[in-house]
Structure 1
Amino acid sequence: MSARRPRDPMMHRSVLKPAAVALLALLLTFAAWWWPNRPVALPNPYDGVIESVSFAPFRGTQSPLTGNFPSEADIATALDALIGKAAGVRTYTALEGMQAVPELAKARGLKVFAGAWLGPLPRVNQNEIASLIDLANRFPGTIERVLVGNEVLLRKDLPVEKLIEHIRTVKAAVKQPVTYADVWEFWLRNPQLAGEVDFITIHILPYWEDFPLPVEVGNGHVAHILDEVRKAFPDKPVVIGEIGWPSHGRDREKAVPGRVQLATFITNFLNKARAEGIRYNVIEAFDQPWKSGQEGTVGANWGLFDENWQPKFDLSGPVVELPQWKLGFAAGALLILVVTAMRRERIAGYSPARLIAGGALLALAAYAGSRAGLEAWLFAYMPGPELWAAVKAAIAIGLALTFAATCFRLLSDDPRLPAGGWTVVGGQLLLLLATVLGFALGLLLVVGVTDDILVPILPQGTVSLLWPLLPVDGRYRDFPTVYVGLAALAPLVVALLAAWTGRDRFLDRLAFGRVFGTVRAGRPKGRGWVAGLAAAGFVAQAVALIAIETPDNVEAWYWAACLALFALPLAASVRRQWIE
Structure 2
Amino acid sequence: MRVSAITSVLSLAGYAAAIGSLGFDLGVQRNSDSACKTSDDYISDFETISGYTNIVRVYASSDCNTLENIIPALKEKDFKLFLGVWATDDTHYAEEKTALSTYLPTIDASYIAGITVGSEALYRGDLSASDLVTRINEVRELVQDIDGYSSTPVGTVDSWEILIDGANSDVITNSDIVFANAFSYWQGQTMANSSYSFFDDIMQALQVIQTTKGSTDITFWVGETGWATDGGSYENADPTVDNAAQFWQESICGIRAWGVNTLVFEAFDESWKPVTSGVSGVETHWGVWTDDGTDPKYSLECTFD
Relative to the length of structure 2, the TM-score reads: 0.78
Matched, 1:232 2:216: no
Matched, 1:88 2:55: yes
Task: Give the secondary structure class of the aligned counterpart of 2:70.
Answer: helix
Q: What is the aligned counterpart of 1:54 among 25, 50, 54? A: 25
Name whichever structure is richer in strand by fraction: 2
The aligned residue for residue 147 of structure 2 is none
Secondary structure in 1 aligned to 2:300? coil
Match of 1:199 in 2: 177
Q: Secondary structure at the match of 1:290?
A: coil
Q: Compute the displacement of 1:239 (Å).
A: 1.7
By how many angstroms is 1:49 displaced? 10
Give the counterpart letter for 2:260 in structure 1: I
Whether the aligned pair in 2 keeps the contact of 1:147 and 1:181 (CA below 8 Å) is: yes
1:245 to 206, 227, 233: 227
Segments of 5+ residues of structure 2 without an aligned counterpart are 1-18, 145-150
Aligned to 2:43: 76
Question: Is the CA contact (8 Å cut-off) linking 1:114 and 1:132 kept in structure 2?
Answer: no
Q: In the alignment, what sits opposite 1:126? A: 94
In structure 1, C-alpha distance between the alignment counterparts of 2:101 and 2:135, rounded to whole Å: 11
Higher relative contact order (CA 8 A, sep 6+): 2
Q: Which amino acid in the other structure matches residue 297 of structure 2?
A: K
Identify if the C-alpha distance between structure 1 residues 133 and 201 changes in structure 2 by more than 3 Å, giving closer, same or farther: farther
Distance 1:51 1:87, change over 3 A: farther
- Aligned-pair identity in percent equals 23
Amino acid at match of 2:177: F
Aligned letter for 1:207? Y
> Offset at 1:312?
1.6
Residue of structure 1 in register with 2:282 after alignment: 298
The whole-number CA distance in structure 2 between the counterparts of 1:281 and 1:267 is 14
Corresponding residue for residue 111 of structure 1: 80
Aligned-partner Cα distance in 1 for 2:203–2:253: 18
Residues 9-66 of structure 1 show CA distances to partners (whole Å, capped at 9, x for unaligned) of: xxxxxxxxxxxxxxxxxxxxxxxxxxxxxxxxxxxxxxx9972100114333544xxx
CA distance in 1, matches of 2:252, 2:201: 16
Post-superposition shift, 1:247? 0.5
Alignment CA distance shift 1:316-1:88 (3 Å)? closer
Code of the residue aligned with 2:266 in structure 1: it is E
Partner of 1:178: 154
Question: 2:122·2:158 contact (CA, 8 Å) conserved in 1?
Answer: yes
Residues 133, 170 of structure 2: 8 Å contact kept: no
- Say whether residues 1:187 and 2:172 are aligned partners: no
SS of equivalent residue, structure 1 residue 149: strand
SS at match of 2:164: helix
Instruction: Report the residue type matching 1:302 in the other structure.
Output: W
Measured in 2, the distance between the counterparts of 1:197 and 1:144 equals 14
Partner of 1:278: 260
Query: How far did residue 167 of structure 1 move?
Result: 0.4
Q: Could you tell me which of 218, 232, 245 is aligned with 2:194?
A: 218
- Aligned partners of 2:155 and 2:176 also within 8 Å: yes
Query: How many Å separate the matches in 2 of 1:87 and 1:278?
Result: 17
In structure 2, what is the Cα distance between the partners aligned to 1:101 and 1:224? 35
Q: Secondary structure at the match of 1:277?
A: coil
In structure 1, C-alpha distance between the alignment counterparts of 2:43 and 2:286, rounded to whole Å: 21
Provide the TM-score with structure 1 as the length reference.
Answer: 0.43
Contact 1:180/1:201 (<8 A) preserved: yes
- Kindly state the Cα deviation for residue 183 of structure 1 after the two structures are TM-superposed: 0.8
Secondary structure of 1:286's match? coil
Deviation at 1:165, TM superposition (A): 1.5
Give 1:312's aligned residue. 297
- Alignment gaps of 5+ in structure 1: 1-47, 318-580
Structure 1 vs Structure 2 CA RMSD: 2.3
- Structure 1 CA distance, aligned partners of 2:245 and 2:180? 21
Q: What is the aligned partner in structure 2 of residue 353 from structure 1?
A: none
Larger relative helix fraction: 1
Partner Cα separation in structure 1 for residue 134 and residue 43 of structure 2: 34
